[in-house]
A and B are shown apart, each in its own frame.
Chain A
Amino acid sequence: MGTALAFYFAAAIALIASVRVITNTNPVHALLYLVISLLAVAMIFFSLGAPFAATLEMIVYAGAIMVLFVFVVMILNLGSVIDDQERRWLSPRAWIGPTVLSLGLFVELIYTIKPTMETFIEITKVGPKEVGIALFGPYVLAVELASMLLLAAMVAAWHLGRDADKDDKGKKNA
């Protein structure tokens, strides 16, 4: 009962926050709601017995990726011009059509996966150890591929970000 309550409460917050991400006209406020939505998803993981996934969600998504998003928006210095533009783009004429259509899909989705009253959330606790064993056991290939991809991204970022003048100076002195 307690876990179900926690689950639905966090899910409701996640939904409201996600809607506000889309409807908010201010980019930084929208990102703030996205952070709240991610924290709510982390709470859902907690309530379902996956504390490791929950903390990783908070560290990686809320604590690192969203920080970079907000960072970029901060540097862009968008100001109130963007607010007005967003408000014009977010006219009811633009969003009502897609919303009604996707609402139809949503009803269909609920109908397909509709839970009976006997359906309960099954809680199995998945700690760091289980995740680690799974990652470096059956999924080791995926981990290696992902790490290679990240290495390539890192090398590219270093190449783009390097100070060309400084490197040239170093060569002249050498």
Chain B
Amino acid sequence: MDIFTPDVIAIIWSVVKALIILFGVVLVAAFLSFVERRMLALWQDRYGPNRAGPFGLLQLPADMIKMFFKEDWTPPFVDKLTFWLAPAIAMSGLLLSFAIVPIIPGWVASDLDVGLLFFFAMAGIAVYAVMFGGWSSNNKYALLGGIRATAQTVSYEVFMGLSLMGVVAITGSFNMTDIVNAQKGCWFVFPQILGFLTFAVAGIAVTHRSPFDAPEAEQDLAAGYHTEYSGLKWGMFFVGEYIGVVLISSLITVLFFGGWLPPFEVLSFIPPFFWFATKTAFFIMMFILIRAALPRPRYDQIMDFGWRICLPITLVNLVATAAIVLWLNQSAA
């Protein structure tokens, strides 16, 4: 009976850690649907959902019960394979990216050498959710939403990758844990302010959050690519969007704001999880505040902004960072 060798126990422990991270992320993402409505209401001087339970905290279970028991209708005119596949991709694509996000030292589901690239790969796969959702619905609004979403996501992913290359150049590694450890002296937001700004913009656009939510603009496209979805499948799109918000917030934290590191050495007695959670929560709140504050630009303005402003900025940022890194290395040697 020697099944539980140290190796096996280590494997089980890492699986358990990965599962805890997974369920934590899904729970936080689902809970955000309530938090977002309450925060939006607060900023717009109204109450928001405050009836179910204390402070409306039971709104989320109520919503979930409603969604589970709603008829999950597949319209007869849709393309069934892709119609059913799209919500699964929407939820799992960005959820898988959490495998590379280091929560605290040692708490990362997969400490890949190519960690950051894995996130780009998953973000690239996640595009298929809106594409297939829009196309399979066999409906012109859904198709238009899908086309908008695809063009927008592909365009913004181009410089989302470039905006992070400055961070990679300074660290000299794609590994997320290395990136956090390289920020011990100075958070990357200061030398990489342009990278941070463009990554934040691209992050909002890739998750189709307002003000970059032209793919699901109610006024001109009904609900865009998920017009034909109902019940649990729609819920998966919905939760998928919040997972994207949590993911981008945690990535901003890890890549630009030192992850689990405290802002000052004096404060290092506070556990690292507190810092990670606080910073991530702050950026989630910024996501919601941006939705409350900014109007939605026209679709061609979104594309123009991406290609003509953000892409050149990220290119200049990358070249300048690379030049400075080379120059410093040379003078050090």
One of B114, B124, B143 near A63 (C-beta < 8 A)? B124
Smallest CB separation, A86 vs chain B (Å): 15
Tell me if A29 is interfacial: C-beta within 8 Å of chain B.
yes
One of A28, A68, A70, A127 near B114 (C-beta < 8 A)? A127
One of B117, B123, B127, B131 near A52 (C-beta < 8 A)? B117
A70 touches B128 (CB 8 A): yes
B123 touches A63 (CB 8 A): yes
Tell me if B82 is interfacial: C-beta within 8 Å of chain A.
yes
Tell me if B121 is interfacial: C-beta within 8 Å of chain A.
yes
Smallest CB separation, A146 vs chain B (Å): 17
- Count, A-B residue pairs, CB within 8 A: 77
Which residues of chain A are near B127, meaning CB under 8 Å?
A: 63, 67
Which residues of chain A are near B151, meaning CB under 8 Å?
A: 71
One of A28, A35, A55 near B121 (C-beta < 8 A)? A55
- Please tell me the number of chain B residues within 8 Å of chain A, measured between CB atoms: 29
B121 touches A59 (CB 8 A): yes
B125 touches A58 (CB 8 A): yes
A67 touches B154 (CB 8 A): yes
Tell me if A75 is interfacial: C-beta within 8 Å of chain B.
yes
**Chain A residue with the shortest CB-CB distance to B161:** A59
Interface of A (DSSP majority class): helix
**B143-168 vs A, Cβ < 8 Å mask (1 yes, 0 no):** 10011001100100100010000000
Tell me if B112 is interfacial: C-beta within 8 Å of chain A.
yes
A75 touches B147 (CB 8 A): yes
B135 touches A58 (CB 8 A): no
- Which A residues contact B (CB, under 8 angstroms)? 26, 28-29, 32, 35, 39, 42, 51-52, 54-56, 58-59, 62-64, 67-68, 70-71, 74-75, 77, 127-128
A-B contact pairs, 19 of them (CB 8 A): A28-B79, A28-B132, A28-B135, A29-B82, A32-B82, A54-B114, A55-B117, A55-B120, A58-B125, A59-B124, A62-B124, A63-B120, A63-B124, A63-B125, A64-B157, A67-B154, A74-B150, A127-B114, A128-B114
